[in-house]
Amino acid sequence: MASHPSSDGGSGGSTPLVVCFGEMLIDFVPTVAGVSLAEAPAFEKAPGGAPANVAVGVARLGSSSAFIGKVGDDEFGHMLANILKQNNVDNSGMRFDHNARTALAFVTLRADGEREFLFFRNPSADMLLQESELDVDLIKKAAIFHFGSISLIEEPCRSAHLAAMKIAKSSGCILSYDPNLRLPLWPSPEFAREEIMSIWDQADVIKINEEEITFLTGGDDPNDDSVVQNKLFHPNLKLLIVTEGSQGCRYYTQDFKGRVPGVKAKPVDTTGAGDAFVGGILYRLAADLNLYKDEKKLRDALFFANVCGAVTVMKRGAIPALPTKDAVLKFIEKDASKSETN
């Protein structure tokens, strides 16, 4: 397996494969910023779903990625499959359901800065992926297998998710987990906490944010290292990352821990910033599967991932805003020259 991404920027299959599993849906976003869903005069459709965003993020940076999930056999489902293809993501693991629709989510950022979600899933196609529909060969080819927690909410998708993880684990994949908490989708907070934690100790790499730490620990201080290390770091974990938005991120491994500051960017829309960050770190991890063992290399990769997130907030939408490697490097150069002149 090649240890470095090919420099041609394409997903030529010569780079270790990142396979992302889970939901892909359509976000409907108001054409006007800072209004509630009820006040929105009109909506724009945007492709969404964290695992799919991450797959595109990895491919945009120039590495190989694939997406496994289910959409409706409808206009929206085929549109999403095409968007992946246009972005060099292998979509051969996608399935189309004849009886269920592609999931829809209406999302707005109100004037008070709170995000408001309204989901249409009753049930949506992504919840109906069955174990028998998994592309086993594609999972076995992966160097990294990435997933969230939304696919754990309902059967049959939950069983398909657990089976996919098992295949990935036995093939020697690195398992990457971003719980991506969306409480409105879960029957209750207790059930969400239980299910999210049920696969916690199987992951090699976990990315969470401060709000998720408070939720998963039952109200503990997200900034307290001992909370993170005693309650969330498990013996098999190689890397735990806590993202802090524009402030940067913290990292914890078996041997060291630290903080990497964020970079300043003018936010237009924060949608997809976390997924861009994950895409950035998985891109660097695919190029060097032992990245977490070398603190200097890890810090460099996390700074790169922070920049991926920063570049994304400067544009509207998730997938349209995900950066190329050139955009990230340009931003880093500009940022460096700014700090030199200050």
pLDDT, tens digit, 9 for 90 and up, residues 287-309: 999 999 999 999 999 999 999 99
Is pLDDT at 70 greater than 70 in this prediction? yes
The token pair at 307 is: 């920049």
Peptide bond into 123 cis (omega under 30): yes
Q: Is the pLDDT of residue 72 over 70?
A: yes
Q: Are 12 and 2 in contact (CB under 8 A)?
A: no
Lowest mean pLDDT among 63-72, 146-155, 310-319: 310-319
- Residue 34 DSSP code: B
Q: How far apart are CA 262 and CA 211, in angstroms?
A: 18
**Secondary structure letter of residue 247 according to DSSP:** G
The pLDDT, as a whole number, for residue 342 is: 58
Distance CA 66, CA 27 (A): 21
pTM: 0.94
Please check the confidence at residue 1 and state whether its pLDDT lies above 50: no
Question: What per-residue string of b and e applies to 193-222 under the rule 16 or more CB within 10 Å gives b?
Answer: bebbeebbebbbbbbbbbebbebbbeebeb
DSSP assignment string, 75-111: HHHHHHHHHHHHTTEEEEEEEEESSSPPPEEEEEEBT
Q: Which among 154, 88, 93 is positioned nearest to 119, based on CA atoms?
A: 154
| Residue 69, pLDDT score | 98
SS3 for 319?
Answer: helix
**What is the number of residues in the chain?**
342
Mean pLDDT on 211-228: 96
Residue of 200, 248, 242 whose CA lies nearest to 223:
242
Average pLDDT over the chain, rounded to an integer: 93
**174-203 residue pLDDT tens:** 999 999 999 999 999 999 999 999 999 999
At 231 the pLDDT is 96
* Two structure tokens written together for 136: 């086993």
45 vs 26: CA distance, rounded Å: 6
Q: What is the pLDDT of residue 12?
A: 44
Edge to edge, what strands does the sheet with 104-109 contain?
Answer: 43-48, 25-30, 104-109, 115-120
Residue showing tokens 């408070």? 214
Would you say residue 160 has pLDDT above 80?
yes
**Residue (of 262, 318, 306, 254) closest to 281 by Cα position:** 306
Does the pLDDT value for residue 2 go beyond 50?
A: no
Identity of the residue numbered 149: S
pLDDT above 70 as % of the chain: 95
Instruction: Tell me the pairing of strands 174-177 and 142-147.
Output: parallel
pLDDT tens-digit map of 261-287: 999 998 888 889 999 999 999 999 999
Which structure tokens are listed for 251?
Answer: 């990292």
Q: Which residues, at least 6 apart from 98, have a Cβ–Cβ distance to it below 8 Å?
A: 73
Spelled out in words, what is the top-level CATH class assigned to the domain 18-23+49-99+123-334?
Answer: alpha beta
Domain boundaries, the chain: 18-23+49-99+123-334
Which range among 26-40, 131-145, 203-217 shows the weakest confidence by mean pLDDT? 26-40
